[in-house]
Amino acid sequence: MSTVKNYLSLVKFSHTIFAMPFALIGFVLGVANLKSSNTGVPTNELILLFFLVLVCMVSARSAAMGFNRYLDRHFDQLNPRTAIREIPAGIIKAEKALGFVVVNSFIFIVTTYFINPICFYLSPVALFVILFYSYTKRFTYLCHLVLGIGLSLAPIGAYLAVTGVFDLLPLLFSFAVVFWVSGFDIIYALQDAEFDKTQSLYSMPSHWGGEQALRMARFFHLMSASFVVAAYVVGNFHWIYLLGLIVFIGMLIYQQSIVKANDLSRVNLAFMTANGIASIVFSIFVITAIFLTF
């Protein structure tokens, strides 16, 4: 049991609350699309498909996070904030962490095979994007956007799993995730700005400084809010969507208001609590709106 706990800690399993709710939005949106087109899908098939999507989400994220921890282990050992992580602390050996990444990558690709052909064919592309992110901090301060793109695959991927086709509405939610994640990752990266400079690592806070980085984070969050508003308009959703919209945008404003370039004491509150509330509450209202709309 302690081994399982260590690996869950390695990949920060609790952070699944960021992308998973948006994957659920994509899945439910796909089911609603089939229903509106009079394409019936047996309940038992939907339950199996939902399970397969969950396996894909968990395995892909575990592979990405495990690879990030493996690749950054030497930097983590030098950084006082991250030296307690499982690999630098000696709790999990580096080679075992890499093996964990390989197993989860294999599970992800195999699972997509049982979903549909397009998910299977695109699985190596998705895997490349989420693993490639771990390298980006070595050569570009746009690394935050790459992380956002990785997590944004959740809603469109879940929608593809159900329908097998691309559509505008799930893409709008994916774009919302891109800029939402990029914004809060910039805020989180403020903690390591000085360390990143000493190690020649790239991030917006280390490249531009805290004030300018926070301005960019605000811009990204403004873009994210714009896309969730656009999704409401395009989807012509039930008015209850607006309640989720208020909570989501409110949490964006809240986290921006409590973090200052010269005061990082509430970064974790902004990162975990505000964004956790934003994703979970927003998804509840959106999924409710989907059921009331279609």
Return d(Cα 244, Cα 289) in angstroms, integer.
Answer: 9
- pLDDT tens-digit readout, 99-112: 999 999 999 999 99
Give the structural domain span for 264: 2-293
Return d(Cα 6, Cα 182) in angstroms, integer.
Answer: 27
Kindly tell me if the per-residue pLDDT of 53 is higher than 70.
yes
Q: What's the token pair of residue 149? A: 């793109």
Return d(Cα 170, Cα 26) in angstroms, integer.
Answer: 6
* pLDDT at residue 42, rounded to an integer: 79
Q: What's the token pair of residue 102? A: 């390989």
* pLDDT at residue 40, rounded to an integer: 67
* pLDDT at residue 271, rounded to an integer: 84
Tally of domains within the chain: 1
Asked if residues 82 and 191 have their Cβ atoms less than 8 Å apart, the reply is no
Kindly tell me if the per-residue pLDDT of 1 is higher than 70.
no
Going by C-alpha positions, the residue among 191, 211, 183, 176 that lies closest to residue 286 is 176
- pLDDT tens-digit readout, 245-259: 999 999 999 999 999
Give the chain as a DSSP string.
-HHHHHHHHHTTGGGGGTTHHHHHHHHHHHHHHHHHTT----HHHHHHHHHHHHHHHHHHHHHHHHHHHHHTHHHHHH-TTTTTSTTTTTSS-HHHHHHHHHHHHHHHHHHHHTT-HHHHHHHHHHHHHHHHHHHHTTT-TTHHHHHHHHHHHHHHHHHHHHHSS--HHHHHHHHHHHHHHHHHHHHHHGGGHHHHHHTT---HHHHH-HHHHHHHHHHHHHHHHHHHHHHHHHHT--TTHHHHHHHHHHHHHHHHHH-BTTB-TTHHIIIIIIHHHHHHHHHHHHHHHHHHH-
- pLDDT tens-digit readout, 185-238: 999 999 999 999 999 999 999 999 999 999 999 999 999 999 999 999 999 999
Which CATH number characterizes residue 68's domain? 1.10.357.140
In percent, the amount of the chain with pLDDT more than 70 equals 99
Q: What's the token pair of residue 277? A: 């509330």
Q: What's the token pair of residue 38? A: 């009079």
35-44, 86-95, 125-134: least confident range: 35-44
28-37, 85-94, 206-215: least confident range: 28-37
Kindly tell me if the per-residue pLDDT of 244 is higher than 80.
yes
**9 vs 196, more confident:** 196
